[in-house]
Structure 1
């Protein structure tokens, strides 16, 4: 068994295959069958089930392989990380990491003070703190620099310095579970938009913080609106300098683009579509053999492999210390559209069986009716969820414009 903290500088094919077998064996043993089935069928995984899975990864030393070894990370090559993610997906493991491990953790490692790192990072690793992201606002989504949430610096009677935050954030994923939120706030209304923004860490239990659920047509409680009514935030909870939060946000967004390509998620969902194609028949033939289905499936497979190769190239650049520029925006464009097309094919293959809505069926697998696929219960909801993928994280229209201007020079 390999040491999860040992640098692996030379991953030849043999070592990668050995590592793949090791990960596959671990997941087969550690992942509960009930959770595996939920993920396979596209059902919702509870917070506790996700916490339990992440604790199992942590005990193996594989919770944050992308973090430095000093913070329980692994010095893996880009190829090894890709193998690891692929094996988790193929085994129907729930996606771990998210905002806490993939976003705020790396930001604190790179920009946080030693005191912030010592306080927050261990609590992120042991699941004590769950985080959400406070970027978008009702009138500041793709044009994030136009955000209005205000933070005014004041001195308390005891002499301590705080920011008083007022405003709201919207489309805040899983804020209902979060203990903390990292926010972009405006601290200078006179400066150029990008130059008057500060990066703050806010305790969700602070007086004046409230959360309103936003339940979509898919019926799932994914998003929320978070309100700040004169919330006091200690100055010590600022990351970086005052009015310098935009550079931190850009750094995060550049690396977030690698995740918004959704390669692992696309692999899982494409495997589901293959399973549907093997399970169902049309005209006396498996769907996999029907020209319309086979043609669309092969096109999706080609697009996914091209996307995966491009993400791997960017990861190698980041690992080599090269800055990731605006060209990473194309990954989000390609990944979000691909996942929509995959879910469209799933619904087209399942047909009218996807029209029935049963909220309870989104949480626990149920024995399907005779002749009805078990994938049908959540298929339409999954497709509706993905409709927002070309909006969230920067709309496709804005991404096209940024690529035209900043990459192609048009």
Structure 2
């Protein structure tokens, strides 16, 4: 992209659109359009095409193959990805861990891990929540005891992490562990990078009511982790965790995902009929759709404001929790409207339809097979990443001073 193109939003948008049209496999595009789940291979194929184009991590520093785009250009990029049904590309790896390593990692960690991420050698998952430490994350119990084994300093890790998204695909996990059991809750935690192939690491799938394998429980039994895989100071992991949550909460506003899903609802409104009219002409549908659209645009503008603050070097604080609150409830309301619009056709359950477009059925919308599962998936969005109740409490205390 030339400097002239960078200054011309229309030209840049056209460039992004043309790239997606040429590079994205049609089968993957169709799955995303219908709300189905792309396979790991399909996601990685798209990641590879983005990497070849130099657009895998546009938000990273240019030293690490970032694009040097403005927040406005990044917004255009995301808008075109959504509008043209490109799959999401791994927010935990590229949006969360990468920036943390760039900010807090030592030179050896950066030189080892960041090229592996950029070359698509590693898929990361997040080891934060535990069976008895979710919203109250500082109460985590997974322990890491420093020992010398075979002449090498290691942490011996024991415990369990839960609700670990896509751990079945991951080969590395970043974990919060307790390295000082006597310290105050937040002061005894460290941030470790753990190879999933290390002896003692195992996982158990958690299949949700929606039938998809999104989550897992990860078990860590006497797992030896080299001390050099600790990011930041020993017992200094809580600072990193809070910083990572800044990145996570911006992403958990789910602006791009909300746009994708609202576009699907718009398509439903144009193709499904009620009382002889398309739904988009029915007052009840039009009113609910318009309200969602307004909420989404307000959220997008607020996220952009926060991104501009981050771009200017300002630290983001606990107020980012309101983005997560707003985005997660909005996405639930969008999926509720989709199910209400499609009606009884969404009730039939077909797990295979989550992954491959089913054969057309006369009179049934092509969006119906995955609609209920999509709605059930979003029920967890007001829990994952910090429940809405906890977010309200944090905002009340730390932002409003109540």
Shorter-normalised TM range: over 0.9
Residue 198 of structure 2 corresponds to residue 206 of structure 1: yes
Deviation at 1:97, TM superposition (A): 3.1
Residues 85-139 of structure 1 show CA distances to partners (whole Å, capped at 9, x for unaligned) of 0000000000113211111111111111111111111111111111000000011
Within 5 Å, give how 1:155-234 maps onto structure 2: 155-156=148-149, 158-234=150-226
- Let me know the Cα RMSD of the aligned residues: 1.1
Instruction: Give structure 1 stretches of 5+ with no counterpart.
Output: none
Which residue pairs with 1:376 in the alignment? 368
Which residue pairs with 1:129 in the alignment? 122
Please give the alpha-carbon distance, in whole angstroms, between the structure 1 residues aligned to 2:249 and 2:38. Answer: 24
Within 5 Å, give how 1:230-379 maps onto structure 2: 230-379=222-371
Residue 57 of structure 2 corresponds to residue 64 of structure 1: yes
Please give the alpha-carbon distance, in whole angstroms, between the structure 2 residues aligned to 1:255 and 1:100. Answer: 12
Which residue pairs with 1:116 in the alignment? 109
Deviation at 1:255, TM superposition (A): 1.5
**Is the CA contact 1:167–1:227 (under 8 Å) kept in the aligned structure 2?**
yes
Structure 1 stretches of 4+ with a deviation exceeding 4 A read none
SS in 2 for 1:198: strand
Residue 9 of structure 2 corresponds to residue 32 of structure 1: no
**Is the CA contact 1:367–1:374 (under 8 Å) kept in the aligned structure 2?**
no
TM-score (norm 1): 0.97
Please give the alpha-carbon distance, in whole angstroms, between the structure 2 residues aligned to 1:169 and 1:386. Answer: 21
Please give the alpha-carbon distance, in whole angstroms, between the structure 1 residues aligned to 2:245 and 2:46. Answer: 27
Residue 134 of structure 2 corresponds to residue 152 of structure 1: no
Deviation at 1:11, TM superposition (A): 6.3
Deviation at 1:18, TM superposition (A): 1.1
2:69 maps to which of 76, 97, 102: 76
Please give the alpha-carbon distance, in whole angstroms, between the structure 2 residues aligned to 1:181 and 1:228. Answer: 11
SS in 1 for 2:213: coil
1:403 maps to which of 382, 391, 395: 395
Please give the alpha-carbon distance, in whole angstroms, between the structure 2 residues aligned to 1:34 and 1:346. Answer: 23
Matched pairs, number? 402
**Is the CA contact 1:11–1:79 (under 8 Å) kept in the aligned structure 2?**
no
Residues 332-354 of structure 1 show CA distances to partners (whole Å, capped at 9, x for unaligned) of 00000000000000000000110
SS in 2 for 1:223: strand
Please give the alpha-carbon distance, in whole angstroms, between the structure 1 residues aligned to 2:47 and 2:169. Answer: 16
Instruction: Give structure 2 stretches of 5+ with no counterpart.
Output: none
Residues 11-36 of structure 1 show CA distances to partners (whole Å, capped at 9, x for unaligned) of 65xx1111111101111111111110
SS in 2 for 1:374: coil
